[in-house]
Chains A and B, each alone.
Chain A
């Protein structure tokens, strides 16, 4: 079974704080993704990575950065948290299927509240 874990289920931070959200997968997947989910907007892609130290911007990268130092771990960083970053953050991973799109498997999510 694919296992994607996220460091926290719930997190409360203050405006201006630096926030780290951690994601770990145990299936040796090459690809990892960060999405945010907001009511009425569905899921939107923030960043993704297809290899260690590689990263690509998604649809809404502003205000975020990422780090991938090891294959199994992908971190989302909020350099200076703002209230509009209050959201549910979902991490996913998949195989790099040689030109095809493989299934993405999701973690349980981190509900972040920025006060």
Chain B
């Protein structure tokens, strides 16, 4: 069975600090997909990134970066120079390739608080 663990329930940092959100996953499949979503106070989940299991390249998008390491089954998310607008709940999610519709298995989320 697949599982996603986000061990950090809540993180609080001061604005401009760097912060890393951890995500560890479990799956028996060799082909799978990993996602990060952001949920601001408004409630809507916003898609951030999708990565398949064959692509271990790290990705950077502005202040956001992702570190995918199959050896440790981790897909960590770093925000550089954090801003108050980054305050949200962040979810890591996993999907195994099923040849069709595939529900996501979510972690329990990390509540990130950026203090001014």
Contacts and interface: CB of A to CB of B under 8 A. Distances in A.
Q: Give chain B's interface residue range (CB within 8 Å of chain A).
A: 20 to 34
Nearest to A31: B101
Contact of A43 (B42, B50, B101, B104): B104
A106 to B, nearest CB: 4
- Main SS of the interface on chain A? strand
A107 B44 CA distance: 6
A48 B45 contact: no
A107 B104 CA distance: 15
Interface string B24-60: 0000000001010100001111110010100000000
Contacts of A48: 101, 103
Given A99-B97, A101-B97, A33 B103 contact: yes
B109 A42 contact: yes
Contacts of B100: 50, 96, 99
A108 B50 CA distance: 20
A114 interface: no
Interface in A88-110: 88, 90, 92, 94, 96, 99-101, 103-109
Given A50-B101, A56-B101, A103-B50, 13 more contacts: A33-B101, A33-B103, A42-B108, A49-B101, A58-B103, A92-B45, A99-B100, A100-B33, A100-B97, A104-B35, A105-B47, A106-B44, A106-B47
Closest 5 CB pairs between A and B?
A: A50-B101, A45-B103, A106-B45, A42-B108, A31-B101
Interface of A: 30-31, 33, 35, 40-45, 48-50, 56, 58-59, 88, 90, 92, 94, 96, 99-101, 103-109, 111
